């Protein structure tokens, strides 16, 4: 199966290892992974800020980049939800309506792709430690991926998976919100960090780097000894 | 009364904003694509619905009792005594006779309990009396098992305040009035309305005593309406 | 009072909210209780999604035919002896009520909780007409005594604690008992009972009117709406034009959604449907009934992409799940409609000018959209608001420049690659131990609250390229 990796700009620049792990997990299950080199960002920062007209250019660019891909898989629920959202943005655009629809249908978040397309719930990885999982908002509510990450994590050998209190609450990232409304965002991430600490987990795992960067940043600021890891890293841990 | 120019101006504006001409007739309520409300307690027997009602009474802080015709007097008397009922107002309901309430009330009066039926001839005096009353007694027309709700169609013989001003509300529930939920009651009202029967000026769906959670989200039972409620389910003859 | 409340500065209001520790604590605990009750009430049904879909379908049909249903409703109210007035503005609605107050020579008016009358500032208008108006919902009464404004659309005094309430009762009404909710509630019962018995007019809002028969329905727990409509000889019901259902059967569905979504109850203690005036021989109920149907900006929403905002049934489920609301409280929104629905509705009803921060008071986490019992896409409406703000040139210049830059960057792969490659170097001066604790420019706001990671030593794309050449390693 041919898969094009959608790395997301954040992981490209900040956490290359998440991309490496994603590639290796996909390859382990027989996927032939390529990386269209002209890909950039899904456009969400501008789209969510209300710059729809301009963002359409970014979106068109991304659709062209992945035009010939069979599947587009990325390690982020939020960014993949944005890619899928192109279909709605262009639904009345005679030139792009059809392509955006087809594009949306082939975009998957990593855990979603493993469980729904490859039908794999046990990737055969081993990870020893006390872990708690933050289900990011866009992954669960916009993309609708709730169970897949937990199914995959539940089958990791050696893992001690602890429930996160009020897990469904937003961490306060919200894209530009974290900067524009930084005080409110700070209150929110504080609450999330407190819940993480409450679990006494050694690792906080999630499927969206942006949220992890936010929560991790607060944990680090408070000197908390909790390591933040992306789902792909645990799934690729042997 | 209504100023038609006032209405036309207002409604024409709505139509204009909707980008079409005014709709004054011909709108038909569609057949809804889903009807989950009809699945609730579907196929439950009358006795199973009584059980549902009893369970729900615990949630709504309401005393549940069940009896048959023969023992209604004993149960009702015990209820009234339990609530220390000295002054009582009751609906002037055609079923008072059928259920033997007329004679029950008569026997209470002999025990110096002041029982009065709603009497349209004395006007606002009814409200004054209801305000002093310990207990108001009504019949449920339709009883909703799911929510523990009694339905009253208030009219000139069954004032709205009987179930509202007294400290305690006691409701006689003929078992045959119990339906799964509000859905069945609303259909009945809807159908009666469609047949041209005017709906009661006040339809009251009442689920237990009044309450409030306005202070720190703490439940206070009994705010403006009754502080306590008792339901008495009577098995049909 | 109207729709706008509190300090004109959004930032100041947010600050006041965050600093008010008791309020935040009580909002947070209330949210917790609301959420678990709603979850239990919706799960219990087993097919909550079907219920939501039905609710959405009913609301969509009704709003699309709102002119027809309001006509049917008003015809039926008149048939049952009522008066109907259509008010396009708050002023028109208030003037109509003032006129009734004067005609009836009313001295005392009891009122049950109603958001639309808050919105149009009716109490002030009544007082100007020379009558006393008493709020009879416990929460609203507390606020009225205290000169305060609601912070939640279902439990308006959520931000006050029992000691504050006791103080208010003592100061304003000579209360001399304890601070237990039971005793406070009993005191309110006794005080307000006197008002009910002596009132000339009862004023209510309206949860849903039933078009097919002209009924207006009140959903309450306390019973104050029942008293306000049973005892006074004149009743005035004020409703937003969208608060209507076609028939009694849809009333069932929407009331069921409302009570479960709002407070997790199967039904509230009282669901009361009043049709017209009292009938011949009836003692309770009004001999004169007025229905005031209010537009006040709602019609402008019809036919726009925001039309579904009018589907709102005022359950506050979106408010109860909103993490932003939890941390700033209701007053910070500067509107009597707080939370996500408030952030959507307020700019529509009262313009962007005074409320342009509201669409940004959200992380777009979509908890609101998921909670809404009639499936209003609240977070999407917030994005639409932001688009309008941008299109009308109301967005900050710096943001505009940044976003234009972003789009150039994300459509020019060469520029993107270049910046990705040099990001680490560029941030070097602020980086220590792979962490930035005091960042430059827009990063400053970020690092005020939390650390920022240094960009990686290698971008993913360069690793992938090397690997393809056979040189990549982990």
How close B223 comes to chain C (CA, Å)?
5
Biggest CA-to-CA distance, chain C: 96
Q: Is B28 on the interface with C (CB under 8 A)?
A: no
Domains, chain A, with CATH or none: 2-116 (no CATH), 123-235 (3.40.50)
Q: If you count them, how many residues does chain A have?
A: 238
Tokens of C376: 């209003």
Residues 171-230 of C with CB under 8 A from A: none
Chain center to CA of C328: 15
What is the model's pTM?
0.96
Asked whether A90 and A96 are in contact (CB, 8 A), the reply is yes
Q: How far is the alpha carbon of C324 from chain A, nearest alpha carbon, in Å?
A: 7
Q: Do B37 and C51 touch (CB under 8 A)?
A: yes
Cα gap B206→C270, rounded to integer Å = 5
Chain C positions touching B19 (Cβ under 8 A) are 303
As separate numbers, helices (DSSP H) first and strands (DSSP E) second, chain A gives 13, 8
Backbone angles phi, psi at C169, to 5 degrees: -60, -40
Query: Are residues C386 and A45, on separate chains, in Cβ contact within 8 Å?
Result: no
- Specify whether the CB–CB gap between B202 and C284 falls below 8 A: yes
Cα–Cα nearest to C204, from C188, C218, C223, C191: C218
| Contact (CB<8Å) B204/C272 | yes
Using CB atoms and an 8 Å cut-off, which of residues 183-202 of chain B contact chain C? 183, 185-187, 189-190, 193-194, 198-202
Q: Where are the domains of chain B?
A: 40-234
- ipTM metric: 0.97
**Exposed, middle or buried: residue C191 (CB in 10 Å: 0-12, 13-18, 19+)?**
middle
Interface touch C449/A189, C-beta < 8 Å: yes
- Provide, as residue numbers in chain C, all residues whose Cβ is less than 8 Å from the Cβ of A40: 409-411, 413, 416
CA C269 to chain CA mean position, Å: 22
Residues of chain A scoring pLDDT < 70: none
Please give the backbone phi and psi of residue C123, each rounded to the nearest 5 degrees, phi first: -60, -40
Structure tokens at C253: 């569905």
**What local confidence, expressed as pLDDT, does residue C1 receive?**
64
Determine the Cα–Cα distance for residues C1 and B228; give it in Å rounded to an integer.
37
CB C345 within 8 A of CB C336: no
Contact C275 B201 (CB under 8 A): yes
Distance from C-alpha of C68 to C-alpha of A78, rounded to nearest angstrom: 42
Which chains neighbour B (Cβ–Cβ under 8 Å, 3 or more pairs)?
A: C
User: CA of B2: which chain C residue's CA is closest?
Assistant: C84
Determine, for residues B212 and C274 on separate chains, whether the beta-carbon distance falls below 8 Å: no
C 230-269 residues with CB < 8 A to A: none
Q: Do C367 and A168 touch (CB under 8 A)?
A: yes
Distance from CA of A26 to the nearest CA of C (A): 14
> Going by beta carbons, is chain A in contact with chain B, meaning 3 or more pairs sit under 8 Å apart?
no
The 3-class SS string of C218-280 reads EEECCCHHHHHHHCCCEEEEEEECCCEECCHHHHHHHHHHHHHHHHCCCCCCEEEEEECCCCC
Q: What confidence tens digit (pLDDT) does each residue in B137-166 have?
A: 999 999 999 999 999 999 999 999 999 999
Domain segments of chain C as ranges: 419-468
Instruction: Compute the distance between CA of residue B60 and CA of residue B41 in angstroms, rounded to an integer.
Output: 19
Distance from CA of C211 to the nearest CA of B (A): 11
Contact C463 A169 (CB under 8 A): no
C367: closest CA of chain B, how far (Å): 22
Q: Is B58 on the interface with C (CB under 8 A)?
A: no
| Interchain contact, C212 vs B193, CB within 8 Å | yes
- The residue of chain A with its CA nearest to that of C379 is A48
Give the pLDDT means over successive 10-residue stretches in chain C (474 positions): 88 95 91 91 91 98 98 98 98 98 98 96 97 96 94 91 94 96 94 96 98 97 96 98 98 97 95 98 98 98 98 97 97 96 98 96 98 98 98 94 95 95 94 94 93 96 91 51
CATH number for the domain whose boundaries are B40-234: 3.40.50.10420
Quote the Cα angle for A204-A210-A212, to 5°.
10
Identify all chain A residues contacting C456, using CB atoms and an 8 Å cutoff: 13-17
Residues 6 or more apart whose CB falls under 8 angstroms from that of B122 comprise none
Beta strands in B167-208 (DSSP E): 168-174, 178-179, 202-206
Angle A230-C406-A173 from CA coordinates, rounded to 5°: 40
The sign of the CA dihedral C17, C20, C24, C30 is negative
The b/e string for C211-226 (b: 16+ C-beta within 10 A; e otherwise) is bbbbbbbbbbbbbbbb
Is B190's CB within 8 Å of C88's CB? no
- C-beta atoms of C192 and B224 within 8 A: yes
Count of A–C CB contacts within 8 Å? Answer: 195
C388 touches chain A (CB under 8 A): yes
**How far is Cα C5 from Cα C153, in angstroms, rounded to an integer?**
14
Residues in chain A within 8 Å Cβ distance of C391: 50, 53
**Distance to chain C for B70, nearest Cα, Å:** 31
C-beta separation of A136 from A77 below 8 A: yes
Report which of C240, C195, C233 is spatially closest to residue C216, judged by C-alpha positions. C240
The answer to whether residue B43 neighbours chain C at the CB level (below 8 Å) is: no
Spatial neighbors of C55 by CB under 8 A, at least 6 apart, are C253, C254, C257, C313, C373, C374, C375
At B1 the pLDDT is 87
C448 contacts A182? CB cut-off 8 A: yes
Q: Which residues of C touch A11 (CB under 8 A)?
A: 460
Contact of chains C and B by CB distance (3 or more pairs under 8 angstroms): yes
Q: Which B positions 63-102 lie with beta carbon below 8 A of chain C? A: none
Dist. CA C269–CA C275, nearest whole Å:
20
Phi-psi region of A154 (alpha: psi -120 to 50; beta: other; left: phi over 0): alpha
CB-closest option in B40, B131, B214 to C139: B214
Query: Is the distance from CB of C417 to CB of A40 less than 8 angstroms?
Result: no
| Tens digit of each residue's pLDDT (9 = 90 or more) over B115-136 | 999 999 999 999 999 999 999 9
Contact across the interface for C395 and A50, Cβ inside 8 Å: yes
Which DSSP symbol is given to C469?
A: T
Q: Which residues of A touch C370 (CB under 8 A)?
A: 141
- The alpha carbons of chain A give a radius of gyration, in whole angstroms, of 17
How far is Cα B209 from Cα B230, in angstroms, rounded to an integer?
A: 9
Q: Which of A14, A48, A221 sits opposite C451 (nearest CB)?
A: A221
As to burial, measured by CB atoms within 10 angstroms (0-12 exposed, 13-18 middle, 19+ buried), residue A162 is middle
Q: How distant, in Å, are the alpha carbons of B90, B127, C112, C181, C189 from that of B131? A: 13, 6, 20, 24, 13
pLDDT at residue C474 in the model: 46
**pLDDT at site B216:** 85
The verdict on a CB contact (< 8 Å) between C323 and A188 is yes
Contacts of C465 in chain A (CB under 8 A): 37
CA-based angle C196:C201:C202, to the nearest 5? 65
Determine whether the interchain pair B1/C83 forms a contact, defined as Cβ–Cβ distance below 8 Å.
yes
Q: Which of C29, C221, C226 sits opposite B160 (nearest CB)?
A: C226
Q: Which chains touch C (3 or more CB pairs under 8 A)?
A: A, B
Chain C: nearest CA to A176, how far in angstroms?
9
What residues in A contact C433, CB-CB < 8 Å? none
**If 0-12 CB within 10 Å is exposed, 13-18 middle and 19+ buried, where does residue C332 land?**
buried
Least confident of B68-77, B214-223, C45-54, C367-376: B214-223
């Amino acid at each position: 199966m041919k898969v094009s990796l959608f790395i997301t700009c954040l992981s490209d620049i900040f956490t290359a290892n998440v991309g490496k792990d994603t590639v290796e997990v996909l390859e382990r299950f027989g996927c032939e992974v390529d990386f269209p080199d002209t890909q950039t960002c899904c456009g969400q920062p501008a789209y969510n800020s209300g710059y729809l007209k301009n963002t359409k250019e970014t979106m068109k660019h991304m659709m062209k980049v992945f035009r010939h891909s069979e599947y587009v898989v990325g390690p982020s629920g939020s960014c993949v939800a944005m890619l899928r959202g192109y279909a709605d943005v262009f639904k009345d655009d005679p030139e792009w309506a059809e392509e955006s629809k087809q594009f949306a249908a082939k975009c998957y978040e990593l855990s979603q792709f493993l469980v729904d397309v490859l039908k794999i719930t046990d990737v055969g990885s081993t990870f020893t430690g006390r872990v708690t999982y933050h289900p990011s908002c866009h992954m669960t509510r916009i993309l609708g991926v709730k169970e897949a990450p937990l199914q995959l994590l539940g089958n990791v050998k050696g893992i001690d998976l602890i429930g996160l209190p009020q897990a469904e609450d937003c961490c306060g990232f919200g894209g530009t919100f974290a900067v524009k409304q930084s005080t409110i965002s700070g209150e929110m991430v504080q609450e999330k960090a407190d819940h993480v600490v409450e679990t006494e987990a050694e690792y906080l795992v999630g499927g969206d780097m942006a949220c992890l960067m936010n929560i991790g940043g607060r944990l680090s600021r408070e000197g908390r000894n909790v390591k933040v890891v992306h789902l792909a890293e645990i799934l690729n841990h042997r | 009364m209504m100023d038609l120019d006032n209405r036309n101006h207002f409604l024409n504006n709505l139509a204009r904003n909707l980008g079409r001409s005014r709709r004054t007739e011909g709108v038909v309520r569609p057949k809804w694509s889903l009807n989950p409300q009809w699945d609730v307690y579907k196929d439950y027997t009358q006795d199973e619905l009584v059980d549902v009602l009893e369970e729900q009474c615990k949630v709504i802080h309401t005393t549940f009792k069940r009896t048959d015709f023969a023992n209604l007097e004993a149960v009702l008397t015990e209820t009234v005594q339990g609530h220390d009922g000295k002054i009582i107002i009751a609906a002037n309901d055609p079923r008072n006779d059928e259920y033997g309430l007329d004679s029950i009330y008569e026997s209470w009066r002999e025990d110096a309990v002041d029982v009065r039926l709603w009497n349209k001839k004395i006007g606002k005096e009814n409200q004054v009396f209801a305000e002093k009353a310990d207990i108001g007694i009504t019949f449920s027309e339709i009883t909703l098992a799911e929510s523990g709700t009694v339905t009253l169609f208030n009219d000139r013989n069954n004032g709205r305040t009987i179930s509202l001003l007294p400290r305690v509300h006691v409701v006689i529930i003929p078992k045959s009035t119990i339906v799964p939920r509000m859905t069945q009651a609303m259909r009945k009202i809807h159908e009666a309305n469609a047949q041209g029967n005017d709906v009661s000026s006040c339809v009251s769906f009442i689920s237990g005593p009044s309450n409030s959670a306005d202070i720190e989200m703490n439940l206070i039972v009994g705010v403006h309406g009754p502080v306590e409620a008792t339901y008495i389910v009577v098995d049909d003859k | 009072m109207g729709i706008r409340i509190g300090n004109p500065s959004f930032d100041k209001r947010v600050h006041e909210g965050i600093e008010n520790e008791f309020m935040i604590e009580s909002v947070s605990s209330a949210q917790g209780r609301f959420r678990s009750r709603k979850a239990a009430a919706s799960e219990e049904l087993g097919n909550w999604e079907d219920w939501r879909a039905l609710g959405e379908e009913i609301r969509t049909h009704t709003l699309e035919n709102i002119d027809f249903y309001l006509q049917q409703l008003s015809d039926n109210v008149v048939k049952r002896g009522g008066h109907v007035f259509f008010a396009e503005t708050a002023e028109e609605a208030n003037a109509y009520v003032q006129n009734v107050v004067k005609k009836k020579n009313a001295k005392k008016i009891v009122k049950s909780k109603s958001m639309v009358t808050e919105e149009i500032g009716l109490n002030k208008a009544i007082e100007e007409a020379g009558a006393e108006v008493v709020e009879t919902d416990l929460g609203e009464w507390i606020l009225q005594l205290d000169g305060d404004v609601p912070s939640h659309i279902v439990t308006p005094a959520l931000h006050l604690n029992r000691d504050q309430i006791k103080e208010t009762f003592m100061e304003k009404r000579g209360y001399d008992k304890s601070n237990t909710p039971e005793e406070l509630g009993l005191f309110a019962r006794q005080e307000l009972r006197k008002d009910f018995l002596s009132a000339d007019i009862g004023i209510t809002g309206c949860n849903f009117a039933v078009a097919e028969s002209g009924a207006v329905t009140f959903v309450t727990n306390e019973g104050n709406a029942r008293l306000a409509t049973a005892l006074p000889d004149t009743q005035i019901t004020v409703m937003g034009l969208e608060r209507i259902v076609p028939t009694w059967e849809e009333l069932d569905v929407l009331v069921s959604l409302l009570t479960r979504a709002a407070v997790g109850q199967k039904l509230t203690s009282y669901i009361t449907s009043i049709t017209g005036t009292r009938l011949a021989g009836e003692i309770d109920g009004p001999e004169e009934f007025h229905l005031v149907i209010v537009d006040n900006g709602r019609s402008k929403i019809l036919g726009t992409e925001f039309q579904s905002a009018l589907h709102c049934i005022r359950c506050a489920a979106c408010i109860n799940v909103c993490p932003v609301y939890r941390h700033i409280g209701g007053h910070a929104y500067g509107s009597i409609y707080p939370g996500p629905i408030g952030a959507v509705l307020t700019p529509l009803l009262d313009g962007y000018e005074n409320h342009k921060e509201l669409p940004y008071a959200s992380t777009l986490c979509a908890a609101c959209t998921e909670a809404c019992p009639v499936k209003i896409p609240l977070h999407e409406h917030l994005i639409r608001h932001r688009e309008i703000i941008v299109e009308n040139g109301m967005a900050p210049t710096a943001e505009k420049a940044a976003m234009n830059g972003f789009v150039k960057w994300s459509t020019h792969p060469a520029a993107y690659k270049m910046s990705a490659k040099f990001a680490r170097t560029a941030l070097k001066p602020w980086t220590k131990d792979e962490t930035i604790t005091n960042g430059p420019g827009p990063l400053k706001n970020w690092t005020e609250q939390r650390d920022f990671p240094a960009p990686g030593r290698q971008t993913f794309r360069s690793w992938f390229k090397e690997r393809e050449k056979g040189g990549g390693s982990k």
